[in-house]
Amino acid sequence: MSVGRSKKARTGSGTPTGPPRGEFLATARRLLELVGLQRPFVLMLVLGLASITLNVAGPLLLGRATDLIVAMATAPRPSGSGPGQGGAGLAPVAVVLSLALGVYGLSGLCWVLQGRQATKAIQRSAYRLRSDAEAKLARLPLAYFDTHRRGEVLSRITHDIDNIVQTLQQTLSQLTNSVLLILGLVVVMLRLSPLLAVIALTVVPAAMAATALLGRRAQPRLTEQWNAMGRLNAHVEEMYASHTLVKAFDQGERSAAVFREHNEAVFRSAYQAQLFSGSSQPVMTFVNNLGHVVVAVVGCLRVISGTMSIGDVQAFIQYARQLSGPLTQVTSLAGVVQSGVVSAGRVFELLDAVEETPDAVERGHVVGRGLIRFESVGFRYEPKSPLIEDFSLTVEPGRTIAVVGPTGAGKTTLVNLLLRFYDVTGGRITLNGVDLRELQRATLRRHIGAVLQDTWLFEGSIADNIGYGREGATREQIELAARSAHADHFIRTLPDGYDTVLDGENAGISAGESQLITIARAFLADPAILVLDEATSAVDTRTELLVRRAMARLSEGRTCFVIAHRLSTVRDADAILVLRNGSIVEQGRHPELLAAGGAYARLYRAQFAQPGADLPR
């Protein structure tokens, strides 16, 4: 049996490079499909089509009104005509103008309603993304969090999703309307004058080619911008979580230097990305203006030749100018779209991450109290690096087994395997004869109460934190568990007792008191198996004695695994296992192992600085 390390080292930030260029369109399509699944999206398209149709009809009506006015001005007046007849001649013009006014007003109303539907579609998509991300975190294996910094993961769920929402809010209805408007304008322009339409549309390929070139230059820089932002957020989160350590070692300036480095990376990438993406709009505007000059000249020649009316030329020029608007808008939004798609790629990468091995159909049924067997167990974090090989151990119900050894011996790895944070890669672990892999993880963990090295308390009352161990626990049960863990006394000394609200930093209670609350939570769960991984590492000597007495009382009828570096906490264990490189090099009770003078005795003497102490070998 051998173990290289007991824990997997964290490997960098786990920051990905974002979606490769070849996947950019696929990511954009996936994002559009997500939005398109929302019912308001269909209504948004219908309202957008109605708004564009009405908007396109407006210049035709205005052109018709112009032709009527020109016809009236150039028509010969019969002798004896009076003012009344002139007023009657203006009636058709008034009707056309009133109709145009109504068309533009109805178009605006459709546009407002379309914006409301777009907002609904976007916010529902964001709601689904956040829900999917939260559910995904619950399904991810522990290995994922071992290789990805918390700040980086949080950045995807918060900043990247917010960026997606902002991108969709700025572009969805605008781009939809722009595309529909471009199609409508092209159809009407071809109807009015194919020659002028060809001239007006000739500039489009050149403008779009320039925009595409600038977009390709901007995309990798946008990817780097959001990756750099993820690294910056990870650093800020890490420094905030360990601010006490930073101050204790006077590393504030060093932390600030790292922050400046990440901040500078965000600045450089964002500046370069916006430089390229922001250049597309002025390029498009310049090319369009050239096209307008040519259209105006050719249109005047057509009027002079009598092949077009002034009203048709007026309408066409309006359409040409309208066409430049959506084209310019499309190009100006290209950088925003690219930024949103990059963020979408980062979020989709999280949602597509490999999940825990799905629970099989539960074939086993746990009967009895805590018989644990490790049968020729093998485990490795990396396929080419075996950590545990051929490890066997039997723990009878009701016995307390202490696992000790130097750092890296494999103690915490055994806990992770028992809780199925990881699955064994060889052999099997059984609970009362049932392979753990034949149990649902929820079923298995209902039989195990764990107090791990990291003290975790959520924002809420102390009673809520203890009650987390059993759904529907009564106040009496919560207080009984606290008394059993010797936490009741200090809780009642707090201003609000069990109703004292803890914030994110657990202000007002010490680290040892926080640990006692987590122990009370495990006791309330009333599990068949207790796993205490360095559970007393943060308590003082007096509290440690109280906890040991409570553990002795509450361990009756339960199987207990005690992982400890402080050997004073394992003296009363039924058996002590000494691990080294995944092997059980010694086992027995405290007096026996101490008398044997082996690895345990060396650990004990080194820890308590007895004469003749030497380092463990």
* Separation of alpha carbons 572 and 12, rounded Å: 41
Q: Which amino acid is at 128?
A: R
Residue 230, phi-psi category: left (phi > 0), alpha (psi -120 to 50), beta (remainder): alpha
* Separation of alpha carbons 590 and 601, rounded Å: 9
Could you tell me the fold of the domain covering 458-526? Answer: Rossmann fold (3.40.50)
Partners of residue 48 on adjacent β-strands: none
Q: Is the predicted pLDDT of residue 7 greater than 50, yes or no?
A: no
Closest C-alpha to 339, from 559, 171, 163, 116: 163
Could you tell me the fold of the domain covering 365-447+529-617? Answer: Rossmann fold (3.40.50)
Least confident of 4-8, 216-220, 451-455, 459-463: 4-8
The per-residue pLDDT for range 28-70, each reduced to its tens digit, is 888 888 888 777 888 888 888 888 788 777 777 777 777 777 7
Backbone φ, ψ for residue 422 (5° rounding): -130, 150
Q: Is the predicted pLDDT of residue 289 greater than 50, yes or no?
A: yes
* Separation of alpha carbons 288 and 296, rounded Å: 12
Q: How far apart, in Å, are the Cα atoms of 120 and each of 42, 43, 161? A: 11, 10, 16
Q: Is the predicted pLDDT of residue 137 greater than 70, yes or no?
A: yes
Residue keyed to tokens 């109805």: 106
Q: Annotate 135-178 with three-state secondary structure.
A: HHHHHCCHHHHHHCCHHHHHHHHHHHHHHHHHHHHHHHHHHHHH
Instruction: Quote the tokens at residue 310.
Output: 């002034």
pTM of the model: 0.63
Domain assignments of the chain as residue spans, ordered by start: 21-73+90-351, 365-447+529-617, 458-526
Give the residue-averaged pLDDT of 117-134. Answer: 88
* Separation of alpha carbons 51 and 134, rounded Å: 38
Query: Are the beta carbons of 142 and 422 closer than 8 angstroms?
Result: yes
Q: Is 385 exposed, middle or buried (0-12, 13-18, 19+ CB in 10 A)?
A: exposed
pLDDT at position 460:
85
Closest C-alpha to 141, from 374, 357, 396: 357
Residues 6+ away with beta carbon under 8 Å from 500: 461, 462, 491, 494, 508
pLDDT at position 14:
40
Q: Residue 617's pLDDT band (boundaries 50, 70, 90)?
A: very low
Element (H, E) at 300: helix 280-305
Other beta carbons within 10 angstroms of residue 1's beta carbon come to 18
- The mean predicted confidence, pLDDT, of the chain is 78
pLDDT at position 499:
92
Q: Residue 8's pLDDT band (boundaries 50, 70, 90)?
A: very low
Residue keyed to tokens 């911008």: 225
Closest C-alpha to 544, from 578, 580, 570, 563: 570
Query: Are the beta carbons of 404 and 576 closer than 8 angstroms?
Result: yes
Q: Is the predicted pLDDT of residue 78 greater than 70, yes or no?
A: no
Closest C-alpha to 448, from 417, 475, 474: 417
pLDDT at position 479:
92
Give the residue-averaged pLDDT of 401-423. Answer: 83
Residue 379's SS3 state is strand
Q: Is the predicted pLDDT of residue 429 greater than 60, yes or no?
A: yes
Q: How far apart, in Å, are the Cα atoms of 278 and each of 211, 217, 218, 282? A: 10, 11, 9, 8
Q: What torsion, rounded to 10 degrees, do the Cα atoms 562, 564, 567, 573 define?
A: 10
* Separation of alpha carbons 457 and 513, rounded Å: 11
pLDDT at position 416:
84
The per-residue pLDDT for range 436-458, each reduced to its tens digit, is 888 888 888 888 888 777 777 88
Q: Residue 319's pLDDT band (boundaries 50, 70, 90)?
A: confident
CA 7 to chain centre: 25
* Separation of alpha carbons 120 and 143, rounded Å: 37
Could you tell me the fold of the domain covering 21-73+90-351? Answer: ABC transporter transmembrane region fold (1.20.1560)
Q: Is the predicted pLDDT of residue 16 greater than 60, yes or no?
A: no
Query: Are the beta carbons of 59 and 323 closer than 8 angstroms?
Result: no
CA 303 to chain centre: 60
Query: Are the beta carbons of 378 and 4 closer than 8 angstroms?
Result: no
Q: Is the predicted pLDDT of residue 615 greater than 70, yes or no?
A: no
Q: Is the predicted pLDDT of residue 291 greater than 80, yes or no?
A: no
pLDDT at position 361:
63
pLDDT at position 402:
87
Query: Are the beta carbons of 362 and 348 closer than 8 angstroms?
Result: no
Q: Where are the beta strands (DSSP E) in 85-131?
A: none
Q: Is the predicted pLDDT of residue 281 greater than 60, yes or no?
A: yes
Q: Which residues of 575-590 are buried (b: 16+ CB within 10 A; e: fewer)?
A: bbbbbbbbbeebbbbb
Q: Is the predicted pLDDT of residue 562 greater than 80, yes or no?
A: yes
* Separation of alpha carbons 455 and 530, rounded Å: 16
- Report DSSP state, residue 570: G
The per-residue pLDDT for range 332-364, each reduced to its tens digit, is 677 788 888 888 988 998 999 888 777 766 655
Query: Are the beta carbons of 184 and 52 closer than 8 angstroms?
Result: yes
Q: Residue 9's pLDDT band (boundaries 50, 70, 90)?
A: very low
- Torsion sign across C-alpha atoms 91, 97, 99, 101: negative
pLDDT at position 3:
39
pLDDT at position 354:
85
Q: Residue 553's pLDDT band (boundaries 50, 70, 90)?
A: low
Least confident of 44-53, 314-323, 345-354, 548-557: 548-557
- Report DSSP state, residue 460: E
- The secondary structure of the chain in percent helix, strand, coil, rounded to multiples of 5, reads 65, 10, 25
Strands 559-563 and 529-533: parallel
Domains 365-447+529-617 and 458-526 share a fold: yes
Which of the two residues, 81 and 409, has the higher pLDDT score? 409
The per-residue pLDDT for range 169-190, each reduced to its tens digit, is 888 877 877 788 788 888 888 8
Give the residue-averaged pLDDT of 110-115. Answer: 84
* Separation of alpha carbons 91 and 131, rounded Å: 60
Q: Is the predicted pLDDT of residue 147 greater than 70, yes or no?
A: yes
Q: Residue 476's pLDDT band (boundaries 50, 70, 90)?
A: very high
Partners of residue 373 on adjacent β-strands: 394, 430
Instruction: Quote the tokens at residue 252.
Output: 């504030």
Query: Are the beta carbons of 578 and 599 closer than 8 angstroms?
Result: yes
* Separation of alpha carbons 10 and 609, rounded Å: 33
Instruction: Compute and round to an integer the Cα radius of gyration of the chain.
Output: 37
